[in-house]
Amino acid sequence: MITLLIGKKGSGKTKKLIELVNAAVESSKGNIVVIEKGLKLTYDISHKARLVDTDAYGIAGKDALVGFISGICAGNYDVTDIFIDSTLKITGNGVADVEELTMKLKALSETSEANIYLLVSASEDELPETVLEYVGK
């Protein structure tokens, strides 16, 4: 399953992410991975979740992000949930990459059976229609 958590800056996306991560940690029988740009969430999410800073690994662009997430899934069969904060900052190309990124990660999610959540700083009307079905409520 893939879910887009959308909204403009300051709309509460990160707070929602923190709640979802901490709930997943409590209910999951596998591993939870949180991918972010910079270490902002260190003290907000449970220490049981694996926090990964894209800057530390030189991840920039949608292809690098998809490859990185693919590697996480390939190397860890028990990853149940992956949360990506600051998606557009990591990809660096604004909403132009959202459609292709969503489709690639949807396929990966189905193959790996991991739930993938993308935080996207954009309003619904800025996104392509093809991804609106994945917007979480």
Per-residue model confidence as pLDDT tens digits over 95-108: 888 999 999 999 99
Q: Please give the mean pLDDT across all residues of the chain.
A: 91
Which CATH architecture group holds 2-134?
3-Layer(aba) Sandwich (3.40)
Question: What per-residue confidence (pLDDT) applies to 14?
Answer: 86
pTM over 0.95: no
Instruction: Identify any residues that bridge with 6 across adjacent strands, giving them in sequence order.
Output: 120
Whole-Å CA distances, 133 to 23, 36, 72, 88, 106: 23, 24, 25, 19, 12
Radius of gyration of the CA atoms of the chain, in A: 14
- Other beta carbons within 10 angstroms of residue 35's beta carbon come to 24
